[in-house]
Structure 1
Amino acid sequence: MDRFIIHNLFGIEGFNIAWYGVIIGCGMILATCIAAWRAQKAGYKADLIIDFVLFAVPIAIICARIYYVVFEWEYYSQDLTQIFNIRGGGLAIYGGVIGGVVTAIVFCRIQKFPLLKLMDFAMPSLLLGQIIGRWGNFVNQEAFGNVITNPKLQFFPYGVFIDELQEWHQATFFYESVSNLILFIVMMIVAKRVKKDGWMTVLYLCGYGAIRCFIEGLRADSLYLIPGVRVSQLLSAVLIGVGLGIAWGIHSGRLQSKTYKGKYLSDNVRQDGE
């Protein structure tokens, strides 16, 4: 299919609107709405999520670009101007996740809001955005896996035909999207039953880390730290380790959210408390 939903917007030659951007944008909007809704149900104002997102999104995009450029430096070093050509592609999810987490830490420190509580609001929505965003890879014909030589396996959703290569490859973008959807459903079920903050964060870090570690091994376009060592698999292991560490902290009582009475508390909860 055509990569662009609109060609030459406002009559400007080359000013095209890509399906990838539209899909990512829709994912961000839906993810923000879900997080705001969950925050309101928990007794907080939607402004908490809106204020956080206003900082997190641009920072996450910048970090996603930096992450990609660092590990593709051999290409970008030949023409530094291409670093700023985001329209040409090159955003890494893990870079965005790192940027979002760092933003959350700084935001919570400034606003004196419990970090684990904000992370628990954000993590399911982040995963939802990834579920939707992976379909941008389908339109761009990227993030695919190994070549499929067996004609009996050359069908979607197991495989996807890549026009540029004239070959069938494993549809790893689809595998990850569906796996993330299953994890999202599990997180929503667990969210109704747990009372301590942090478990949504643990589920995301361990669950997505495991999913990405497996699927990354099937991809044909991975970023490598050194030959044979895929960056995303290494980071996946780190995510799982951090998630297990947080789980231990919550279970042992060492990680607990402090009571919050600031401006993001909903008026009804504030009145009840008074």
Structure 2
Amino acid sequence: MHQILFYIGDFPLRSFGVMLSLGIMAGLIVSLMVAKGQRRYYEEVMDLAFYAILGGLVGARVWEVMFSWDYYSQHLIEIPAIWQGGISVQGSIIGGLLAVIWYCQKNNIAVWAMMDTLAPGVLVGQAIGRIGCFLNGCCYGLPNEHLGIVYPEGTDAYFAFGSQPLFPAVLFEAAWDLVSLGILLIFFKRRPFDGFIALSYFVLYSVGRFTLEFWRGDSLRTIMNLKAAQASSVITILVALALMYYLYQQKNALRDKRNLKG
């Protein structure tokens, strides 16, 4: 576990930044492969990538700063230092989603179909990015003697719990991302309507995140003793399921209308 891989002169090459970059590139490659397999949206994914990545990074940092304002209000100069860690996956999803919706509306592209194309790549990017969180020593878990890992001095985890073995929550989240990816790919060609894959992604990710938050040691608690990420996960699941029902009903209504005309 190394926060800094090596130096180029006086410039430190941080493991978090490297894994974040690799995750973005791998995610883009996977989304392009999905688009190529569908024979649609290949060029659009290439064009959209810049806006989605930018929106995701901005959203990830804004979310993190917002929920850690007690710290960042005293360290304003560190707010742009995204390469040092301190980003939120949920914030990145919101920021990237807004960028995708904006781009699709601007270019008259079906939003749900595009989101289905991007969802597998997002999971790949998240999984690799979570490895960067682990190497950085952030997003750590609670003390656990059986599955715990001792983080080195200088990490956020060590600052919070010292040399106690901590549950590697982010590694389990990365594994869940890959399991979710496999599930989405199995159903991709048999999806009942556009948007099914994207909404399934939101449900699967949120279920995993809600569960793993019970073992996270760095999260804020909100209402009913739940953590902020758990509360937002519950909301995400409910909204995604409601949209699934709406899109399914909409497709059936359109099919019935066509049958009547026929």
TM-score range, shorter chain: 0.7 to 0.9
Change in CA separation of 1:87 and 1:32 when aligned onto 2, cut-off 3 Å: closer
Q: How much does 1:255 deviate?
A: 9.4
The farther-off stretch of 83-92 and 126-135 is 83-92
Counterparts of residues 169-248 of structure 1 (less than 5 Å): 169-225=166-222, 228-248=225-245
Q: Is the 8 A contact 1:6 1:17 kept in 2?
A: yes
Q: Give the letter aligned to residue 4 of structure 2.
A: F
Change in CA separation of 1:140 and 1:233 when aligned onto 2, cut-off 3 Å: same
Q: Which runs of 4+ in 1 moved over 6 A?
A: none
Q: In the alignment, which residue of structure 1 is the partner of 2:155?
A: none
Q: How much does 1:57 deviate?
A: 0.7
Q: In the alignment, which residue of structure 1 is the partner of 2:65?
A: 69
Query: 2-side partners of 1:167 and 1:186: how far apart?
Result: 35
- Secondary structure of 1:170 counterpart: coil
Counterparts of residues 138-153 of structure 1 (less than 5 Å): 138-148=134-144, 150=145, 153=146
- Secondary structure of 1:161 counterpart: coil
Q: Give the letter aligned to residue 212 of structure 1.
A: R
Query: 1-side partners of 2:176 and 2:18: how far apart?
Result: 22
Change in CA separation of 1:145 and 1:255 when aligned onto 2, cut-off 3 Å: farther
Change in CA separation of 1:248 and 1:226 when aligned onto 2, cut-off 3 Å: closer
Q: Give the letter aligned to residue 23 of structure 1.
A: M
Q: In the alignment, which residue of structure 1 is the partner of 2:20?
A: 24
Q: Give the letter aligned to residue 68 of structure 1.
A: E
What residue ranges of structure 2 are gaps of 5+ in the alignment?
153-157, 255-262
The size of the alignment, in residue pairs, is 246
Normalising by structure 2, report the TM-score: 0.88
> Percent identity, aligned pairs only?
26
Q: Is the 8 A contact 2:3 2:137 kept in 1?
A: no
1:148-191 deviations in Å (ceiling 9; x for gaps): 2x4xx1xxxx3211223111011111211111211110110000
1:25-46 deviations in Å (ceiling 9; x for gaps): 1111111111112112212252
Counterparts of residues 69-148 of structure 1 (less than 5 Å): 69-148=65-144
Q: In the alignment, which residue of structure 1 is the partner of 2:257?
A: none
Q: Is the 8 A contact 1:72 1:223 kept in 2?
A: no
The farther-off stretch of 115-124 and 175-184 is 175-184
Q: In the alignment, which residue of structure 2 is the partner of 1:166?
A: 163
The farther-off stretch of 66-75 and 194-203 is 194-203
Q: How much does 1:226 deviate?
A: 6.3
Change in CA separation of 1:21 and 1:79 when aligned onto 2, cut-off 3 Å: closer
- Secondary structure of 2:123 counterpart: helix
Change in CA separation of 1:119 and 1:186 when aligned onto 2, cut-off 3 Å: same
Q: 2:247 aligns with which of 235, 238, 250?
A: 250
Q: In the alignment, which residue of structure 2 is the partner of 1:41?
A: 37
| RMSD, aligned α-carbons | 2.0
1:87-107 deviations in Å (ceiling 9; x for gaps): 332111111100011111111
Change in CA separation of 1:44 and 1:19 when aligned onto 2, cut-off 3 Å: same
